[in-house]
A and B are shown apart, each in its own frame.
Chain A
Amino acid sequence: MTEQRIPHIGCVAPNSEDEKRLRDIWEAEPGLKGKLGSVDHKVIGLRYIVTAFVFLILGGVEALIMRLQLARPDAGLVSPDAYNQLFSMHGVTMIFLYALPVLSGFSNYLWPLMLGTRDMAFPRLNALSYWLFLFAGLFLYAGFAFGHGANAGWFNYVPVSGPIFDPGPNIDIYALGMVLLGISTTVGAANFVVTLFRLRAPGMSLNRVPIIVWGTLTASVANLIVIPSVSLTFFLLWLDRNLGTHFFDTGAGGQALLWQHLFWVFGHPWVYVVVLPAMGIVSDALPTFCRRPLVGYAAVAMSTVATMIIGFEVWIHHMFATGLPPLVLAFFGAASLIIAIPSAITVFCWIATIWAGRPQFKVPFLFFASFVLLFVIGGVSGVMTAAVSLDWQLNETYFVVAHLHYVLLGINVFPVMGGVYYWFPKWTGHKTNEVLGRWAFGVLFTGFNLAFFPMHILGVLGMPRRIYTYAPGMGWSLLNLLVTLGAFLFALGVLIFLIDLLISARRGEPAGDNPWDAASLEWSMSSPPPAYNFRVIPIIASGHPLWEDRLNQSEQRSKLHEGFTLLEGRETLGTSPLDSEPNAILRMPGDHLAPFALGLAATVFFAALALHGWLWAGLALAACAATLIWWFWPPKAEKAPSDREAAHV
């Protein structure tokens, strides 16, 4: 039967023969094949983060052009059609190409390091997920580059986005690009779920994993359930537009509201998908700067899960003004109010952590502490719009724009920037510049509030969303000018942030293994980490492996330097789902070109659909099938019978 082995437990000294062996096994080949075929989660994670930031900058430039247009009444900088594309692509970019991918980048990079393993469960699927994300982003932008960007808003309501009112290729490209991106998100989510339940180090039981793991796990399960909804609705719209089906065709019995339901069944959980891992960043990193563990770990972890569960029952609060029966509105309004409770629990845990700790006002702390404030502001305006009667007043105004930017920038961008400052030393081995960092934070925080707080007032004054200009006598002119100034100030902050990173990556002080004196496992290895992550798979005894001596919560100590060596191949330890008891030695797949090839073939398929090149679409589909067969091709049976069993995913 299957080969069995008692895994060797011991030490692997730095620069020893054994360590060299690990490097030989895990390091990617040099050259193009190594680059395109890499399955190293750290490489993929950083690619995700860098690519997401490029999209953040693109979306930011689009916002700046819109703000120039709106800075004064009756401006003529861009045409109404160009403005439609700008606000649509701005939303698409920020929501889909920045907000989740950047968090996927963090989680990809950090998960195996935090959980104590040598890679993700499906390394090749991980590579596929990145390539599909990149190609889907390019796909969506290819239309924009030719003047055919999405132009019916990021939530793309029918009938405005239907074949009659929007006949160009714009929406077709958006629809197909979203289906392609959905595949990327789905395979990424599957990878996170399986990694969590399969690859944690022995002793890293569920009650010891960092909160970002809870956040990403919750978000990933939600993604598996709700991504099909948005992919389906975009596909149905594409069918309506290209094959003459009638799903949204109200003249033939179709329903415009079907779009809104299918979109927001996905869209509202998605809002939590793009904030829960970011909240996890804060829950994990803030305590480092308070010099104490997070207050209420279990409460925060359970609130994360509770937020997502309630998050499945709030989508109708995007549809309060569509004429649904009052009972429905009451139910979904109530659920939208209740969801504030787990968020509030988490906020009080953060405040208590700062209160009970000895805060060190380092740059990441500034971002995390200000995030708590912005979260409260964005949360309160959310609770306000959860009340149906007030929502009817504020719906489709700048108040909603203010709310969603407080939420998405406040709970995503600020934690992400804080997280970049926090983990940058781990990624590059260099510290960032504390002075530039403080300047970046101050400018970003001021610019952000100047740009978005006045939007609340504009909304109350009745300024609608998505208008490309307004008349001088509306009383909106001064506030709009302030918003524009704030937006440019914010952009300046981003510039300082990027300059800081670019300089520090080359000339920053050496960081050492654990520059912040943090508690979690990713700080136990060198910066940047070696390709194999851990010289030995550690054996974990608490949720704060690097702080055990000073916390002294029990007699138990984690073993970080003596553990499973697993030197006999590209191996890591498989453990049980809840208690993480070792139950297998997993053979991990190495670099492979199939993920890149599959990503390319899938993109060609969708491009062919967009261009109605049916023959090309068929060929590309056949190429996808062939690539998958190549990917999963079982290796030839060797002497060791279990080699055939190696995972190929």
Chain B
Amino acid sequence: MSEDLVLDKPLPVGNTGPRHTGLWGLWTLVLTEGSLFGYLIVSYLYLGVASGQTWPPHGPPDLLKPGISTTILLASSGVMMLVEHNLKRARIRSALGFLALTILMGAVFVAMQMHEWAHKGYGPWTHLYGSLYFTITGFHMAHVLAGLIVLATLFVWILMGRIRPDGPKPVTIGGLYWHFVDAVWIVVFSTLYLAPHLHG
């Protein structure tokens, strides 16, 4: 294959392009974290079937508030796309505005989820279902919080001029992480909230 190599073409300097090393790194993170949630979901299904208990013990969960918070979280992914779009076109103020909105929407999701936790009427130690429910949503919550720290850091860096329109890769990478956190929630929400209604 070396016979076909073109060696004297100009190359981008630095870590750029669609195959940015950092993006590669993030994809490995997605693979391993995706697997983690896969094992959590499988454990939930396995224990649910094997325990023979009424599942969930208090009947299928209410969908209204979780549905709203889910919609907000998923919509925040769309807003996050606008951040990169505007940053690349040097519309720094719009980019910052949309980023702030993404963070706000993530924070609303966290608050609504916390509220739901507080009003569940049971805890992780109450029964097997509680252990699973709080552990799985807790793992996801930890990822949302990590994502919010990432987004807040990106906000500061854009504000300081450390991330600029000709080098938006940190935002691409942070954004991809945020999309991943949202995509995982679709799986968690479907399994924990929607599925019990199917045979309810």
| Chain A residues within CB distance 8 Å of chain B | 1-7, 9, 121-122, 125, 186, 189-190, 193-194, 197-198, 202-203, 205, 224-229, 231-232, 236, 239, 243-247, 249, 252-255, 257-258, 261-262, 265, 539-541, 556, 558, 571, 574, 576-577, 579-587, 625, 629, 632-637, 640-647, 649
Contacts and interface: CB of A to CB of B under 8 A. Distances in A.
B8 interface: yes
A582 B128 contact: no
A634 B14 CA distance: 13
Given A4-B13, A121-B25, A262-B43, 6 more contacts: A229-B39, A232-B39, A258-B43, A581-B5, A641-B166, A644-B164
Contacts of A637: 161-162, 164
A583 B11 contact: yes
Main SS at interface, chain B: helix
A315 to B, nearest CB: 13
A198 B132 CA distance: 39
A252 B132 CA distance: 13
A245 B131 contact: yes
Interface string B5-47: 1111111111111010110110011011101101110010011
A186 B6 CA distance: 35
B71 interface: no
A262 B128 CA distance: 17
Contact of A587 (B9, B14, B28, B46): B14
Interface string B127-143: 11011100100000000
B47 A647 contact: no
B135 A236 contact: yes
Contacts of B170: 632, 634
A582 B11 contact: yes
Given A236-B135, A261-B46, A645-B16, A246 B128 contact: yes
Contact of B12 (A3, A202, A231, A540): A3
A640 B130 CA distance: 55
Interface size bracket, B side:
35 or more
Main SS at interface, chain A: mixed
Contacts of B43: 232, 236, 247, 258, 262
Contact of B167 (A6, A226, A246, A642): A642
Contacts of B127: 246, 252-253
Contacts of A194: 21, 24-25, 28
A205 B32 CA distance: 26
Interface in B92-134: 124-125, 127-128, 130-132
Most-contacted residue by chain A among B5, B40, B46, B162 (CB, 10 A): B5
Contact of B125 (A244, A582, A647): A244
Closest 9 CB pairs of A and B: A203-B2, A253-B51, A645-B14, A228-B36, A245-B131, A190-B28, A642-B14, A244-B125, A634-B162
Nearest to B49: A255
B1 interface: yes
Given A2-B166, A253-B51, A253-B53, A585 B5 contact: no
Nearest to A205: B1
B53 to A, nearest CB: 5
A203 B124 CA distance: 55
A643 B161 CA distance: 13
Nearest to B9: A6
Contacts of B162: 633-637, 644
B62 interface: no
A582 B16 contact: no
A183 B15 CA distance: 25
B52 A253 contact: yes
Contacts of A644: 14, 162-164, 167
B47 A253 contact: yes
B39 A4 contact: no
Contacts of A5: 10-11, 13
Interface in B160-175: 161-164, 166-167, 169-170
A585 B17 CA distance: 11
A9 B8 CA distance: 8
B169 A625 contact: no
A6 B7 CA distance: 9
Given A584-B12, A645-B167, A246 B32 contact: no
A642 B1 contact: no
Contacts of A125: 25
8 contacts: A1-B166, A6-B9, A122-B25, A194-B21, A205-B1, A232-B39, A634-B170, A645-B14
Contacts of A198: 19, 21, 24
A394 to B, nearest CB: 28
Contacts of B169: 645
Contact of A225 (B8, B9, B24, B31): B31
Contacts of B190: none
Contacts of B75: none
Contacts of B16: 2, 584, 642, 645
Given A246-B127, A261-B46, A587-B14, A202 B19 contact: no
Contact of A246 (B36, B131, B157): B131
B8 A647 contact: no
Nearest to B157: A634
Given A122-B25, A253-B52, A584-B15, A245 B32 contact: no
Contacts of A244: 124-125
A239 B46 CA distance: 18
A121 B21 contact: yes
Nearest to B142: A621
B21 A239 contact: no
B58 to A, nearest CB: 15
A6 B8 contact: yes
